[in-house]
Amino acid sequence: MRCPFCHNDDTQVLDTRVSDEGDTIRRRRRCAKCDKRFTTYERVELLLPAIVKKNGSRVDYSHDKLESSIKLALRKRPVSSDSVDEAIGRIEEKLLSLGEKEIPSERVGELVMRELKRLDKVAYIRFASVYRSFADIESFESALKELK
């Protein structure tokens, strides 16, 4: 591990601890050159599938993009952050369980809509109106009928 202060590659682990949840390892380190101490964290990194957009381009999955899209739909709605985190967790679990290297963006959108329908009906309609690109009032009405 490179020292963040002097960029020396020679560092020593002084202490290692597992987090209470058991999903992170915390390591205290000391640089052999400048003698400064710093902390590093290790956690499991799961590889989620690449997203294939409608135009055929491929992008890496982005947790932040998914989270911001969901939060935008839920803006000013009475839904807790914990509920949002749980919904994102369910979406990511589903993506991992598919075992695919690539997944169409439409599939991700459908997973998001399913979670938003569970969380908040107004947020569901907000997201659906953008995701499905409602062209007229009839398509909007059909989305409302799906909720009933």
pTM, to two decimals = 0.63
11-35 average pLDDT score: 92
The Cα–Cα gap between 139 and 147 comes to: 13
Residue 101 is predicted with a pLDDT of 92
Query: Of 61-75, 104-118, 132-146, where does mean pLDDT reach its minimum?
Result: 132-146
Neighbours of 11 (CB within 10 A): 20
> Residue 53 in 3-state DSSP?
coil
The Cα–Cα gap between 42 and 29 comes to: 13
On the 0-12 / 13-18 / 19+ scale of CB atoms within 10 A, 104 is middle
Categorize the per-residue pLDDT at 136 as very low, low, confident or very high, splitting at 50, 70 and 90: low
What residue has token string 């205290």?
28
- Average pLDDT along the chain: 88
Q: What's the CA angle centered on 36, arms 35 and 41, to 5 degrees?
A: 125
DSSP state letter for 48: P
